[in-house]
Chain A
């Protein structure tokens, strides 16, 4: 089993729709979580951190479920510009370092 798993998609949704995807992680000691966005042939860019209480940034909402060991990303009123790959990142501390694992990404395509 992979340490961080995501549905690869693609999710193909119409503009204006709401779309959500999850990411599961296997290590219960994981402490911090992030969503990155990656456009085709570009570097990953931080979209948002995921806090225990859940957090919202405009049309984007991220949630953490520690009991079931998954995080989610919800995009409301999707725009064409939201088309990208969304990478889940899990950070597990050990000793004085940290172990950062990326999921394989979920591809999202917004159609007009």
Chain B
């Protein structure tokens, strides 16, 4: 399967614990995005990378959230001291735009987080 993959697919944790999610983009894609999606809403942008550089972070990304893409390939999203409000689906997408306004994203299956 050469699509975007995410691991784990599901995570249940207790409030206050740290969690880390991984995303492996489509191999030739240089852009990687993280989104959060809650029930009844569209995906909300969290952050994105172009190669290994983190170019933008949303206001939604509090200081408890950190993302890395150390070698410009896979990325990790860590949430420290989880709160119940962090419960959501975390989606990763990748793209390789020919130019900035012809960008098509391809999504991974998501990691569903439940904080008890």
In the docked arrangement, what's the CA distance between A34 and B97, Å?
14
Q: Which residues of A contact B33 (CB under 8 A)?
A: 100
Interface centre among A44, A49, A94 (most CB of B within 10 A): A44
How many B residues, CB 8 Å from partner?
25
- B101–A100 contact, CB under 8 A? no
Per the bound structure, the CA–CA distance linking A44 and B43 in Å amounts to: 9
Q: Which residue of B lies closest to A4 (CB)?
A: B42
**What are the interface flags for A69-101 relative to B under an 8 Å C-beta threshold, 1 for contact and 0 otherwise?**
000000000000000000101011111111011
In the complex the two chains form, is A98's CB within 8 Å of B103's CB?
yes
Q: How many A-B residue pairs have CB under 8 A?
A: 58
Main secondary structure, interface of A, reads strand
Q: Is the CB of A93 within 8 A of B41?
A: no
B108 / chain A contacts, CB cutoff of 8 Å: 43
- Which B residues lie within 8 Å of A100 (CB)? 33, 45, 103, 105
Interface of B is mostly: loop
Given contacts A43-B109, A45-B107, contact A102 B100 (CB under 8 A): no
Interface string of A41-59 (1 = CB under 8 A from B): 1111110010000000000
Give every chain A residue within 8 A of B97 (Cβ-Cβ).
Answer: 98
CA distance A34 to B93 in the complex (A): 15
Interface residues of B in 68-116 (CB under 8 A from A): 91, 97, 100-110, 112
**Contact present for B107 and A32 (CB under 8 Å):** no
B109 CB, nearest partner CB in chain A, Å? 5
A-B contact pairs, 26 of them (CB 8 A): A4-B42, A32-B101, A32-B102, A42-B109, A42-B110, A43-B108, A43-B109, A44-B43, A45-B107, A46-B104, A87-B43, A89-B105, A91-B101, A91-B103, A93-B100, A97-B55, A97-B100, A98-B97, A100-B45, A100-B105, A101-B45, A103-B42, A104-B40, A104-B41, A105-B41, A105-B42
